Amino acid sequence: MPADTFTMAHMMKQAGYTTGVFGKWGLGAPGTASEPLKMGFDRFYGYNCQRHAHHYYPYYLWNDNQRDLLWNNFGHETGDYAPDFIQQEVLSWIEENQNRPFFLYYALIQPHAEMLAPENYMERYRGKFLPEKSYKGVDGGPRFRKGPYASQPEAHAAFAAMMNIIDDDVGELMDKLEALNLSENTLIIFTSDNGPHREAGHDPEYFDSNGPLRGHKRDLYEGGVRVPMIAWWKGKIEPGSISDHVSAFWDVMPTMAEIAGQPVPESVDGISFLPELLQKEQAEHDYLYWEFHELKGRVAIRNGKWKGVRYKVSVDANSPLELYDLSNDPGESKNVAKDHPEIVEKLDALIKSARTPSPNPRFNFPQQKKSDH
């Protein structure tokens, strides 16, 4: 990110919060202008590299801007499970900052993408999710623990074990807040960054990970972009309540701004969902827009019940827009574009107006040609 990027961490510090990020940071390598400690965070512990974060038994983790060597992982050893170290740093940081306002961004790495868990978790699930799936990865040589995933002959058991670890870690964090009498004044949001993926032996079909939704990670169908979100705020959010408010990650910063009493930067497109959390009248988006620059380019837009999806836009700017009525077809199984040309035209216009061209031409799709009709 550019050095002058104003992040949510900057905003929370401005409001008097101590800030920490734990887990995975992939927004600025060590020594760059956007490493965590230069982007508004007071504390960082974890991985500073997307590829490095593929591995659960790495040779080191970053402790602020210094490397912490994990001596029990040298060579092919698997003695130090990195998520355990990150979890302990999170709990320690909460305890150290219990008497001041804090903002914690906990970027859990599991279950992406390598499938490894300690034996005490693996033994709980071994043989319980048959037939097993085997994955052959990279277990030695010059690329070992440098991006490619390790092998896993029991991928189903490993997935269950990793989910169990997440559950235990979140429970331990909740217990810490209770023990420190912080639970009455702490908002916790738990969510995912995308739909399920199929790398390194992951088997979303076996576990029905996307339920009735179509697509996976990197898709712009609902299975790729629609994720669960759990919010917990003792005494403020009604326990067990369910919301159908359509929101997106660009709404998080305005929400935190409203909670912390801070102005929202003018460049932010989000809408605070704090009213929805508190069961009050909530503003809605006119539309949500997505684009993806791999796999020949993809764009999608949601406007009310309507969802438009266009693939291969990098090679064919005039590729047809698929249209789905999410109110009765959340699985996007029936393309109804031919039945609603006026909706297709409306969504097409929204797609064209939704984005500001990037100064980097690599992040701009070819322009559509005007139709002859």
Residue spans per domain, the chain: 8-277, 288-363
What residue type is assigned to position 233 of the chain? W
pLDDT higher for 127 or 362? 127
Model pLDDT for residues 78-97, shown as the tens digit of each residue: 999 999 999 999 999 999 99
Q: Measured between alpha carbons, how far is 248 from 271 in angstroms, rounded to an integer?
A: 9
Query: What is the DSSP code string of 147-216?
Result: SSPPPBS-HHHHHHHHHHHHHHHHHHHHHHHHHTT-GGG-EEEEE-SSS---GGG--HHHHTTTTT----
Average pLDDT in the 289-317 region? 94
Q: Measured between alpha carbons, how far is 184 from 100 in angstroms, rounded to an integer?
A: 14
Neighbours of 244 (CB within 10 A): 5
Average pLDDT in the 357-364 region? 87
Average pLDDT in the 286-302 region? 95
Provide, for the chain, the percentages of residues in helix, strand and coil under a 3-state DSSP scheme, each rounded to the nearest 5.
30, 15, 55
Average pLDDT in the 204-228 region? 95
Residue recorded with tokens 């896993």: 152
101: Cα within 13 Å, side-chain hemisphere: 10
What pLDDT shows up at residue 224? 95
Q: Measured between alpha carbons, how far is 94 from 100 in angstroms, rounded to an integer?
A: 10
Helix (H, G, I), strand (E, B) or coil at 60: strand
The token duo for 32 is 């760059």
Say whether pLDDT at 354 is over 60.
yes
What pLDDT shows up at residue 265? 87
- What dotted CATH number matches 8-277? 3.40.720.10
pLDDT grade for 362, boundaries at 50, 70 and 90: confident
Q: Measured between alpha carbons, how far is 65 from 48 in angstroms, rounded to an integer?
A: 10
Say whether pLDDT at 370 is over 90.
no
- C-alpha distances in Å from residue 148, one per residue of 98, 137, 143, 144, 293: 39, 7, 7, 7, 22
* Mean pLDDT computed over every residue of the chain: 95
What pLDDT shows up at residue 240? 94
Say whether pLDDT at 336 is over 60.
yes
Average pLDDT in the 94-121 region? 96
Say whether pLDDT at 197 is over 60.
yes
Average pLDDT in the 118-137 region? 97
- C-alpha distances in Å from residue 363, one per residue of 79, 161, 350: 42, 38, 18
Rounded to two decimals, the pTM is 0.93
pLDDT grade for 267, boundaries at 50, 70 and 90: confident
Q: At what angle do helices 155-179 and 82-96 cross, to 10 degrees?
A: 10
Say whether pLDDT at 373 is over 50.
no
Model pLDDT for residues 8-65, shown as the tens digit of each residue: 999 999 999 999 999 999 999 999 999 999 999 999 999 999 999 999 999 999 999 9
Give the sheet arrangement for strand 66-69, strand by strand. Answer: 66-69, 60-63, 43-48, 18-25, 102-107
pLDDT grade for 368, boundaries at 50, 70 and 90: low
What pLDDT shows up at residue 372? 43
Continuous H helices in the chain: 8-14, 82-96, 119-125, 155-179, 204-207, 222-225, 252-260, 274-277, 341-354
The token duo for 263 is 């102005």
pLDDT grade for 360, boundaries at 50, 70 and 90: confident
- The domain defined by 288-363 folds into Arylsulfatase, C-terminal domain (3.30.1120)
